[in-house]
């Protein structure tokens, strides 16, 4: 089984390394997913943080806005994860031994968990819970930090 996996990753690595159009498509999927998903999440997070200071009606509108952004954020995140897996498989030996890579992966896991927390807090806030809004605001702040930290680590990764 390990021999098969080694052969498979070697074949993918060779194909990836020898095809500029393939590298471009995979890297675009990674960056494009980050821009679409992360950009939408960041905009929604900023609006959520601001809405926490406003009236209950404005907050309710923000909850509906957040619900409408989930599909874009999740689709973008899916592109980032799928293309990231392909990038990882193209250079397994480098990434396996990179501390920056593993810190970035920890941030990706934290981003996923925070997304679940956002959904739960959003549901609590939607029914008028003051504690739910506090949690939602904290989750939005964490989301902002995690999107930027993950992006920074991704940019640092080829440079270390």
Six-digit token pair at 36? 């679409």
Please indicate whether residue 25 or residue 11 has the higher confidence score (pLDDT).
Answer: 25
pLDDT for 2 beyond 70: no
Q: What is the pLDDT of residue 8?
A: 79
Q: What is the pLDDT of residue 23?
A: 97
- Reduced to 3 states (helix: H, G, I; strand: E, B; else coil), residue 46 is helix
C-beta separation of 96 from 138 below 8 A: no
- Reduced to 3 states (helix: H, G, I; strand: E, B; else coil), residue 104 is helix
Q: Which residues, 6+ apart, have CB-to-CB distance to 94 below 8 Å?
A: none
Range of the domain at 142: 2-159
pLDDT digits (tens, 9 = 90+) for 102-122: 999 999 999 999 999 999 999
Please indicate whether residue 147 or residue 130 has the higher confidence score (pLDDT).
Answer: 147
pLDDT digits (tens, 9 = 90+) for 43-64: 999 999 999 888 888 888 999 8
- Which helix (H) or strand (E) segment is 147 a member of? helix 130-156
Which CATH number goes with the domain that contains 69? 1.20.120
The percentage of the chain sitting over the pLDDT mark of 90, rounded to a whole number, equals 74
- From CA 143, how far away is CA 111, in angstroms rounded? 7
- From CA 62, how far away is CA 51, in angstroms rounded? 7
- Reduced to 3 states (helix: H, G, I; strand: E, B; else coil), residue 103 is helix
pLDDT for 151 beyond 80: yes
pLDDT digits (tens, 9 = 90+) for 63-97: 989 989 999 999 999 999 999 999 999 999 899 89
Six-digit token pair at 92? 């397994």
- From CA 104, how far away is CA 60, in angstroms rounded? 34
Domain total in the chain = 1
């Amino acid at each position: 089984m390990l021999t098969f996996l080694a052969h498979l990753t070697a074949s993918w690595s060779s194909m990836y390394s020898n095809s500029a159009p393939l590298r471009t498509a995979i890297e675009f999927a990674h960056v494009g997913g980050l821009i679409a998903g992360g950009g939408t999440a960041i905009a929604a997070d900023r609006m959520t943080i601001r809405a926490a200071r406003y009236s209950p009606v404005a907050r309710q509108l923000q909850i509906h806005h957040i619900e409408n952004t989930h599909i874009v954020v999740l689709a973008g995140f899916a592109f980032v994860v799928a293309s990231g897996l392909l990038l990882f498989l193209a250079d397994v030996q480098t990434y396996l031994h990179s501390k920056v890579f593993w810190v970035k992966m920890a941030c990706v896991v934290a981003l996923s968990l925070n997304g679940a927390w956002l959904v739960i807090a959003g549901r609590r806030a939607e029914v008028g819970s003051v504690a739910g809004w506090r949690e939602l605001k904290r989750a939005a702040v964490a989301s902002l930090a995690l999107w930027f930290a993950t992006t920074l680590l991704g940019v640092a990764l080829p440079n270390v």
